[in-house]
Amino acid sequence: MLQMRLFIVGMLVCCMAQANTLEEAKQKLSQKDFAAAHAIYLSLANQNDAKACYNLGLMYHDGDGVKQNMDEAVKWYTKSADLNYAEAQYMLASLVFRREIQSITYEKAAQYYQQAAEQGHVKSQLNLGMLYFRDDVIPQDLAASFKWISLAAGNNNSEAQGYMANIYMQGIGVEKDPVKAAMWLMLATQNEDKHLVNRHSKMLNYSVAQLTPEQVDSAKQLAAQCKNQQLKHC
């Protein structure tokens, strides 16, 4: 029993020291002491710390204190992704689909989105949903597309909320439901992320114009109910 307690205490001390080291690296970055930050991240990355690998990749990607080197960035992103770090998986997949790197296949990039999405990474959920809709890298699966886009929408991604409205408006893999479409647009226009608010507002105005006053009231009630449920099971 004593040996077990000592083991647990040792593990806790180790984890605390590692967290402090990552925090120290973050502080060094904020102080523009890139050499010190790089040394800390490199040491941790060589110990298979996924976040350190990712941050090291960012340094090479952005050229922060080191010569910008995309190959080196991809190397560390890949190590982080293979250690199941969602941000690295999303980063690599995004770079592939933006055609900024060619060393990773689209199929592998889709797998990275899948892995990150399964960990709750919201942008990966949305992008995976769109891949299932597109029918190019992976076969079209409208049920899977709906699943992942709705998860992203439920995680308060405004772009996904707009896509949910479009899904219900056009009946893509689901029955047409103009009231639910309006509901999602109401939620999208109220989203704290305002970069798509103009587009969603125009869509909402068009959507509401097609509804009866009773349907508009129903959409408002559904939106309020959905917010009360923290956007889950809407």
Greater confidence (128 vs 8) lies with 128
Distance of CA 203 to the CA centre of its chain: 24
Contact in structure between 86 and 119 (CB atoms under 8 Å): yes
Average pLDDT of the chain is 92
Q: What is the pLDDT of residues 176-212, one digit of tens each?
A: 999 999 999 999 999 998 899 999 999 999 999 999 9
Better-predicted residue by pLDDT, 94 or 14:
94
| Residue 150, both tokens | 């709705």
Percentage of the chain beyond pLDDT 90 is 84
Whole-model pTM?
0.87
| Amino acid identity at 33 | D
Q: Which of 142, 177, 160, 128 is nearest to 231 (CA)?
A: 160
What is the distance between the alpha carbons of residues 42 and 86, in angstroms, rounded to a whole number? Answer: 19
Q: How confident is the model at residue 20 (pLDDT cuts 50, 70, 90)?
A: low
Q: What angle do CA 16, 52, 110 make, to 5 degrees?
A: 125
pLDDT of 4 reads 42
User: How wide is the angle at C-alpha 211 spanned by C-alphas 191 and 149, nearest 5°?
Assistant: 40
Confidence of residue 28 (pLDDT cuts 50, 70, 90): confident
Complete DSSP assignment for 54-122: HHHHHHHHHTSSS---HHHHHHHHHHHHHTT-HHHHHHHHHHHHTTS--SS-HHHHHHHHHHHHHTT-H
